[in-house]
Amino acid sequence: MNIFDMQEFVSSPLYHSICLAIAKAIPITIISDYSDTMANLDIQRIVNSNLSIKELQNTLINNKDELINYSINKYKMTYINEEIEDYPIGEEVEERPTNIKYTGYSKGFLLMNLIEYSLVKRGNQELEEYLKKSRIPQAKKYAKEIKSFLEFK
């Protein structure tokens, strides 16, 4: 896989239509620019997942509605959890940084959800291996969260 292949994948009509469906359902902005840097990060995600681009395309085609629901559930559950942050006593954050400007989601957000969705459907072991390769802290705990995104209504 190379940058051109990655850009072609995230620019496909199906991928784009799924992004639009998610953005219509939840209050997110998707950045239209997709830089080579973002493409390289997403290529590494695919490499870490041990999934092929063909497998990911098939999941987009065959599980479109489930993937949209997964993405919406993930956003809702993550947003709810951000509201209730859990800091140790004495380490609470008093003020949020004001010098950070949020511009929106990269097109690659759907790819991350697609990989997680595909791997959780295969089972916990492959998902946990992917999360560890991706250096996600508390991989087992996050794997359980990912599973809950499938079940959240």
Q: Please, which residues bridge with residue 105 across strands?
A: 30
Per-block mean pLDDT, blocks of 10 residues, the chain (153 long): 94 96 93 93 96 96 96 88 55 61 84 96 92 93 91 66
Q: What is the pLDDT of residue 98?
A: 64
Q: How far does CA 63 lie from the centroid of its chain?
A: 15
Nearest to 18 by CA among 110, 90, 109: 110
Q: To 10 degrees, the CA torsion angle through 10, 2, 60, 78?
A: -70
Q: What is the pLDDT of residue 84?
A: 47
Distance, CA of 86 to CA of 88 (rounded, Å): 7
pTM of the model: 0.85
Q: Which two tokens stand for residue 120?
A: 């959780």
